Structure formats: structure tokens, C-alpha cells
Structure 1
Amino acid sequence: MTTDTSRPVADPTEPSAPKRRGLLDRYFGISAAGSTLPREIRAGLTTFLAMSYIVFVNPDVLSNAIVIPGVDNVFTQLIMTTCLAAAIGSLVMGLIARYPFAQAPGMGLNAFFAFTVVIGMGYSWESALAAVFISGVLFVVLSVVGARRAIVQALPLTLKLAITAGIGAFLAFLGMKNAEIIVADEATFLALGDMRSAPVWLALLGLMLTAVLMKLKVTGAILWGILAATAVAILTGAAVYTGEEGLVPFQGFGDGVLGLPMWPSDLAFQLDFAGLMNGESLIVGMVTVVLTFFVVDFFDATGTLTGLAQRAGYLDEHGNMPRAKTVFSMDGLAAITGALLGTSTTTAYVESAAGVEEGGRTGMTAVTTGGLFLAAMFFWPLIGAVPSAATAPALILVGALMMGGVKDVAWGDIGESLPAFLTVVAMPFTFSIANGVSLGIISYAVIKLFSGKAKQASWLLYLLAALLLARYIWLS
């Protein structure tokens, strides 16, 4: 497997793609992108395994807020909703935008949905879904008129490189957290985990195995590493985090590996727009909640998509993304669909980087991931056998690979280096891609403006910086 994936690749939708290839090859431009169908499918499987935890974690978070009297299978319905939202989001990204980026209900946004909007602010979960729907509509509108593309183009190359590296740091931090290599500590905030624990050793085993396989250029190294670590966990009964409430040994498959899917009838199409204003003013209901959903996901998704596109080699010499309007529109469409199905904001997943590193270059990768989420509705007991400690090595390794772009940052120029540095470190330290992007934009604009270099940044960047600063002051 080739790990240097930062080289530019051809736009797979250009008419120069070979016509003698099969239907899938012609539609997705697989050969034009320098890929193969088996590689795309393998990359899609890798992405799915890296983000499969969401099948259980998203319901676990949302079930704190979504309580339906007389309905005792809400958790199961949330599993179905999560799978459907992830499947549809990934399929539209793959089939229409033809990018290898999977989508699913976003972590962080689901916690904001459950604990802040519903439990903290007192809105019903139906009203919170309405807010998610409205923010999704705003995404699509801004994407269609080209506003999101304009914002991405307004970002200087320094920030685009830093966003990619920051996402890498975020991935590595997430992987180490999932493996309990690092743990929370009251005195030092973070500390080294128990190096004798099963999750740590399982993750380190998978990390070293995958790294060796990648060094030997073994095809599918990341996927083989995940599967090998999962096999060790199952065979040894190692106590690992499986998306439930604590560390438990894998207990087998109980009644089997199959579970009948069901339509989430109590969750789907339950949006309550009027409830957004009940008991609150129009400004609080229709602006504060909706704007928070919108702003956080806007910069989270925009940063994720830009970073993934840069790593996959899609950005041109000016740092622009081909078919950006379509890509961003599919992100908004996924948010709308997720709200209609009954889940919090569905967005592009940073774990898609695992599939990109596995060689995924076209929409066929995302289509494969989407198809696997549909299959997960039948095989969700089997998906639960893949512990977080088994996928953690993939996140750590991909994070390391994504750091390479920062070598091109002008580190000798404080006006370039400080915004880049803040972008990179803020993402893992605040556990938010959006915060990293925001701090990078604000610091870049302030330094340029007050150092006599105002013309080196576009007017749109200054406007974004002002809006983001106002958002931190007002919404905080």
C-alpha cells in the first residue's frame, strides 16, 4: 500500500476517464483517480470500521434526552435511525458529489443536542430536531449560492495546511483516548493510562502491527490491523470499551449475529417547529439554538471536508476543491435527512481519513461505507464486536500521516506560524475541529490587520473573524 497520498489526483468526473472501463469505473472515475474497484471497496470497509462505534454511541448519547412514554424500544429505534442517517448521508456524498467521505450523526453535536438544548435549555427533542432541520436548510442554501465555497477559498493556504494537521492531531488524540492510553486526571488534566490494561495493550499491538504492515507496503494494512486487533479481543475475552457504559469482556453474540431491522416510527418525522418558540422569544428560539447548531457544524464540516480533500490530493494549486458546491450541498442534505429521521446533525466524518489512507479516492468508497451502514441494521450485534481499542490504531496512524503538511507553513513568520499553531493545537485540546478553525481565522485576521499586512487577507476572512469573535462573546 502506498502511504504517500498527498499527490494531486485527476478529477474523476472529467471526461478524460477511460470509456472502455465498466459502468462503475466510468461513473466514479476510478481509473482516472488512479484507483481500482477492490481498493475503493476496501477503503470503504476501513472507513466503516473506523466509525462503526457511532452505531451505539450516538443512541447512548441521544437516549438521555429522547424519552417517549410507553415506548420501550427507543434505544433500538435510535440504532436504526443512526444507521439510516449514516447510510443516506454517505450514499449521497458518494453518488452525487462522488467524494470518498462518509457521513453520520456527529459526535459533540449530539451531546449539544441532548444535554444543552433538550436537558439544559428545556426544549423538547422534537423542537431540537426542528432546529437541526433549519440549520441543514441554511447549509444547502449557502452551498448552492456558493457562500461555503467562497469561505473555503478565502482561507489562506497556511490555515488549510494547519486544518489538515489539526484534524490529524484530533484523530490521534481521539484514538489514544479510545484506547485509554491517555485518561482524564483532576490534577494534571491528562495523564498516561494504565499500561497494564487490556485496551492499552490491544491498541499498542494493533498500532505496531499496522505500522509494520504499512512499512512493508502490505495492501489493506489499516484494515488488517483493525481485524487482527478485533480477533485478539474476541479470542482472549479482553476487557475493552465496546461503546457501552464501561469496560467489559466480549461475551459472545448472545442470540446470534443477526438482528431484524425496524422503522423508527416514533422518531421519524416528529419535528416541532412551533415548539422552538414556546416559552421563549423568537430571538432565543429561532436564532440562538439554530445559529449554534449552524455555526458549530458549519466550521466543523467545512474544516473536515477541506482537510480530507487536501489529504486525498483533491485541492488544486490554489487550494480550491473541485465540485465544492456539490460537496457542501450534500453535507447540508445529510443534516436535513438526519433531522427528518430523528437524529442530531449528520455531517462529514473525520474518520473518513482512514479510508483515504487505505487508497479511497472516489465516491465508490463512500457508497461502500453507506451500504455497510445499511447492512449494520441487520448485523448490529456483530458490529458491536469491534472494540474502540481495535480502531484506535487506525486513528493514531492516520493522524500521524496527516501532520506532514505543516512542513510547508512559513514557521519563521509569526503572522503565519501562530495562526497555524493555534489551529493545530486547539482541535485536540478543545476536542473541536470548529474551535481550531475559528481560532486560526481570528488570530490570522488580527495579526494581519494590526501589523500593516491587511491586504494579505481577503475582506471575507476579516468578516468571518468578526462574526466568529461575536459568536464566542454572545453565544458563550
Structure 2
Amino acid sequence: MASSETTEPTDERAEPARPSSAVDRFFEITRHGSTVPRELRAGLTTFLAMSYIIFVNPSVLGNAIVIDGVDNVFTQLVIVTCIAAAFGSLVMGLIARYPFAQAPGMGLNAFFAFTVVIGMGYTWQQALAAVFISGVLFVVLSVIGARKAIVQALPMSLKLAITAGIGAFLALIGMQNAGIVVNDDATLVRIGDFGNPTVWLALIGLVLTAILMKLKVTGAILWGILATTAVAIIFRLAVYVGADGSPAPFGGFSDGILALPFWPGDLAFQMDFAGLFNPAHLDVSAGFLVTSAITVILTFFVVDFFDATGTLTGLAHRAGFVDDKGEMPRAKTLFSMDGLAAIFGATMGTSTTTAYVESAAGVEEGGRSGLTAVTTGGLFVLAMFFWPLVGAVPSAATSPALILVGALMMEGVKGIDWKDVGDSVPAFLTIVAMPFTYSIANGVSFGIIAYALIKVFTGRFKESSWLLYVVAALLIARYIWLE
């Protein structure tokens, strides 16, 4: 044995590496085995993967938020979406110090617009009040440790299944955005039109990014997104949405790349709590008379509770934050930031702001600290000024990233005992229910209910925490009375 190898003090791996800067110390970047450039790159990757929300959220909420005499509601919604996403991501990065971004959630915005406002007759101001209250409930349950306790009560098989299910869900979203799979009235889904340039561009991006990942190219996912975007622009592929809503090639920046934001005064601080609990909103639920506002609040709460809890748990497991006991550092703070983001988003004028599953793209790019989320949040701030640039990245360019990240997140299924029906069936339901029902919350719920029922009816009740059975009972009640 060479003595120089044993006495040389330059072997830094023998003791913890020292932070290189104040930023490194605050975010513990070196301790997480990452670097500042890698964290910045991961934040950009996450932003590109979820930047579609800048335009999609306003288009969904715009169906319900109509203000007489105001013709720039859509633009205000764009600004509000950016503000909510920036705030949610920044508090997640700066306070919780996790690499997970937040933004107004898809699905919840549709429930807000089409069910609560258009379907049930609430005003959008009253719906915002319901979102605010549900956010307060998130924070309260997080501070008292209820959400952390629920996560700890989940068996490892379900935690692994949640991660894999999110991967399957991400892959479905990516394939949908790329047009590889489309809706079908007879079979629900079918293969898309391969005469569509969006499909071919996404497939090119998929192969290119996979090759870069196999070659272990630094920033493979980000380079794949940028390269695919370049192909779309250079070859003028009709993969963008034209002025008339039809597919069109990139139209350039006719109005420049700078768009100065303004205060969305018609949307901010417009919550109507008194109207939400108006006696006119009465309904018969579970055999007794209640205000339907309770149903609305509980639906917002329950769906996002399990959606966000499942998302954060799956992402944390994938990023290596979950230890052998199933615990995460700063779990109360992590979950509280989700609730705080929902409260702030409602105050600004948007539906529930929550953790984004697309954060997995940044995690796979190497993001391991809060600097990743802070970078994403900062880019949402810049998007308010340069949002035309965001429009240059077509969905076909980000779709391959979602599909590949989904594939990587399936790795955890090897840790599930597939020979034990008590573990395998709940895990399987968790995985398949997420893409099949288009809901992370449903996947988590189905898995918990199945796991609890199998334990109870096979006489193995004592093998799991009492809290898991309580949660399962509440979920069953939710599907009976709140669906």
C-alpha cells in the first residue's frame, strides 16, 4: 500500500467537503453532492417542463373569471400565474430548501372553473375564498405534524409505488402533449396521428435526449429540450398554436420579447368569504342539510392534500431525501410551504397553487437543494417580462423530458414484494390509478384503501399504524359523499 495514498491530506472524500460559498452553505449544496451550476441547470429544466402553465392556467380560469368592462383578464391571469408560481417555488426553495417547484395546479383549476363557478353557481371571488380556506387547513395540518404522520404511516411498498405511479402519470402527460396518444370515445385513448409533425418532433427529441442521457452528457434533459426547440424553429414545423388556434410554425417575436407586467388589480384580494357561506348555498349531503361551501372546501382540500402529499413524497424519495425509516428532513416545513402557496395564490386571484410533478425533470437533472426551486421561481419572475420567449418552446420539446423522467421513476418498483398480494395489489392500484384516472390523489387513495382493507380482512390489522386505517376510512367516506 502506497503511504502517500494514506497520509496525503488532499483526499477530501475522507471527511465532509467544505461549502465553497455562502449560497453553498445556506442550501447545503455540497453536502447534497451537487454544485451551483448543476442546481441552476436543474431549475431551468424544471421551469421549461412546467412553463406551459403560464398560458394553460389562464385559458382554463378564463372560462369562469369574466369581469365586465375589463378586456385584459387573460393577461392579468398570466401575470397572476407567474406571481403564484414564483412565490410558491421561492418559499419551497428558501424556507423548506427542497428542489420542488410550485404553481397553480392542473385539474384543480378545472374544478374551480367548470364545477364550482360554472356548475355550482358560485362567483369566482367566492371560489377563491374556498381555496384560501383549504390552504389554511393545509398549513394547520402540516404544522401539527398530521401530514408528516400520514406519510410515515405509509408502508414502503406504497411509497415506492407512489414514485412509480407519478412516473407513469408523467409519461402519459408527455405522450398526450406530444400527440402520441389521443382521446377516443370508444377506447378512451388510442395512438395519435403520425402525420402530425408534433408527434415526429417529440419522437426525435425522445431519441436524442435518451442518447444524451445514455452518454451521460451533463444537462442531457435540458440540451434535449433546447435542441428539439431549435429543430422546430429551423425547419418551421407546425407545432405551435397559431392565431386562429390551428397548428402553425413559429411566428417569431412580432411584438418583441419584452412585455412589461402590471399589477393585476382586478384579481388580487378579491376573495368573498361572506358570499361563500351565503345561506342560499344549501345542499343535502349524507342525509343532512349543510352549506355546499363545506363540500367545495373539503373537495379542494382532500384532492390537493393527497395530490400534493403524494407528489412531494414521491419526489423526495426519488431525490434521496427519504431515509430507511421513511422520514424526510424538515417535513413539517415542506408540507407547510404547499399550504402557504395555496393561500398566497388565492389572495392573488388563482386556483390552488401546489407542488408540481414536473419538478422530477429537475431532480433527474441533478437538482438536490432549494437553489433548484429558487431558480425556477426566479425564472417565473422573469417570465412576466419575457413571456414571449417561453412561447418559443413547444410542448413537443418538453414532452420527451416528461416521458424519460417517467421511465426513470419506475426504478423503485423493484423494491416491491410482488409475491405478497398484501403489498403488490395496493402498489399496483397506486401505480395504474394515477394515469388511468389522471390523478395522483386517486392513485394514493386507491392504494391506501386497498392496503388497509386487505390487512383488516386477513387478520393482520396490527401490522400497520392505526393512522393508516383512519385515513383509509376518511378516503372511503370522501368517495361516497364528496365525489
TM-score (norm 2): 0.94
Contact 1:53–1:243 under 8 Å retained in 2: no
In structure 2, distance between residues paired with 1:101 and 1:71: 35
Tell me the secondary structure at the aligned position of residue 252 of structure 2.
coil
Name the residue aligned to 2:263: 263
Q: CA deviation at 1:19?
A: 5.3
The reply on whether 1:208 has 2:207 as its aligned counterpart is: yes
Q: CA deviation at 1:473?
A: 0.5
Tell me the secondary structure at the aligned position of residue 321 of structure 1.
coil
Tell me the secondary structure at the aligned position of residue 260 of structure 1.
coil
Name the residue aligned to 2:75: 76
Q: CA deviation at 1:246?
A: 4.6
Contact 1:199–1:239 under 8 Å retained in 2: yes
User: Given residue 280 of structure 1, which amino acid in structure 2 is its aligned partner?
Assistant: H
In structure 2, distance between residues paired with 1:203 and 1:456: 46
The total of aligned residue pairs comes to 461
Q: Which has the larger radius of gyration?
A: 2
Residue 305 of structure 1, aligned match among 297, 305, 312: 312
Name the residue aligned to 2:341: 334
Residue 454 of structure 1, aligned match among 461, 471, 474: 461
The one-character-per-residue Cα deviations of 1:187-206 (angstroms, maximum 9, x if unpaired) are 21111101121110010000
Contact 2:138–2:336 under 8 Å retained in 1: yes
The reply on whether 1:220 has 2:216 as its aligned counterpart is: no
The reply on whether 1:66 has 2:65 as its aligned counterpart is: yes
The reply on whether 1:372 has 2:379 as its aligned counterpart is: yes
Name the residue aligned to 1:319: 326
1:22-421 alignment, distance < 5 Å: 22-241=21-240, 245-278=245-278, 279-281=280-282, 283-421=290-428
Contact 2:19–2:28 under 8 Å retained in 1: no
Name the residue aligned to 1:7: none
Q: CA deviation at 1:242?
A: 5.0
Contact 1:90–1:101 under 8 Å retained in 2: yes
User: Given residue 386 of structure 1, which amino acid in structure 2 is its aligned partner?
Assistant: V
In structure 1, distance between residues paired with 2:154 and 2:185: 37
The one-character-per-residue Cα deviations of 1:27-52 (angstroms, maximum 9, x if unpaired) are 00000000000000000000000000
In structure 2, distance between residues paired with 1:455 and 1:139: 29
Tell me: CA distance 1:343–1:205, structure 2 relative to 1, closer, same or farther (3 Å): same
Tell me: CA distance 1:162–1:336, structure 2 relative to 1, closer, same or farther (3 Å): same
Q: CA deviation at 1:240?
A: 1.7
The one-character-per-residue Cα deviations of 1:133-156 (angstroms, maximum 9, x if unpaired) are 000000000000001100101111
The one-character-per-residue Cα deviations of 1:328-379 (angstroms, maximum 9, x if unpaired) are 0000000000000000000000000000000000000000000000000001
In structure 2, distance between residues paired with 1:74 and 1:21: 46
Contact 2:240–2:250 under 8 Å retained in 1: no
In structure 2, distance between residues paired with 1:233 and 1:17: 45
In structure 2, distance between residues paired with 1:189 and 1:249: 30
Contact 1:17–1:29 under 8 Å retained in 2: no
In structure 2, distance between residues paired with 1:426 and 1:391: 24
Tell me the secondary structure at the aligned position of residue 239 of structure 1.
coil
Tell me the secondary structure at the aligned position of residue 360 of structure 1.
coil
Tell me the secondary structure at the aligned position of residue 396 of structure 2.
helix
Name the residue aligned to 1:13: none
Tell me the secondary structure at the aligned position of residue 184 of structure 1.
strand
Contact 1:242–1:386 under 8 Å retained in 2: no
User: Given residue 377 of structure 2, which amino acid in structure 1 is its aligned partner?
Assistant: G
Aligned CA-pair RMSD? 1.3
More deviation, 278-287/65-74: 278-287
TM-score (norm 1): 0.95
Q: CA deviation at 1:382?
A: 1.1
The one-character-per-residue Cα deviations of 1:224-273 (angstroms, maximum 9, x if unpaired) are 00001111111222122559855332211111111111111000000000
Tell me the secondary structure at the aligned position of residue 283 of structure 1.
strand
Structure 1: 5+ residue runs without aligned partners? 1-15
In structure 2, distance between residues paired with 1:60 and 1:250: 20
Tell me the secondary structure at the aligned position of residue 148 of structure 1.
helix
In structure 2, distance between residues paired with 1:315 and 1:375: 33
1:419-434 alignment, distance < 5 Å: 419-434=426-441
User: Given residue 181 of structure 1, which amino acid in structure 2 is its aligned partner?
Assistant: I
The one-character-per-residue Cα deviations of 1:165-203 (angstroms, maximum 9, x if unpaired) are 000000000000000000111121111101121110010
In structure 2, distance between residues paired with 1:173 and 1:242: 21
User: Given residue 235 of structure 2, which amino acid in structure 1 is its aligned partner?
Assistant: T
In structure 1, distance between residues paired with 2:236 and 2:18: 51
The one-character-per-residue Cα deviations of 1:389-416 (angstroms, maximum 9, x if unpaired) are 1100000000000001011111001111
User: Given residue 290 of structure 2, which amino acid in structure 1 is its aligned partner?
Assistant: I
Q: CA deviation at 1:21?
A: 2.0
User: Given residue 122 of structure 1, which amino acid in structure 2 is its aligned partner?
Assistant: G
Contact 2:161–2:428 under 8 Å retained in 1: yes
In structure 1, distance between residues paired with 2:242 and 2:372: 25
In structure 1, distance between residues paired with 2:242 and 2:182: 16
Q: CA deviation at 1:164?
A: 0.2
User: Given residue 314 of structure 1, which amino acid in structure 2 is its aligned partner?
Assistant: F
Contact 1:182–1:192 under 8 Å retained in 2: yes
In structure 1, distance between residues paired with 2:417 and 2:223: 37
Q: CA deviation at 1:55?
A: 0.3
Contact 2:242–2:248 under 8 Å retained in 1: no
Structure 2: 5+ residue runs without aligned partners? 1-14, 283-288
In structure 2, distance between residues paired with 1:247 and 1:151: 45
Percent identical among aligned pairs is: 74
Contact 1:56–1:243 under 8 Å retained in 2: no
In structure 2, distance between residues paired with 1:246 and 1:318: 52
Contact 1:276–1:285 under 8 Å retained in 2: no
Tell me: CA distance 1:400–1:17, structure 2 relative to 1, closer, same or farther (3 Å): same
Tell me: CA distance 1:445–1:20, structure 2 relative to 1, closer, same or farther (3 Å): closer
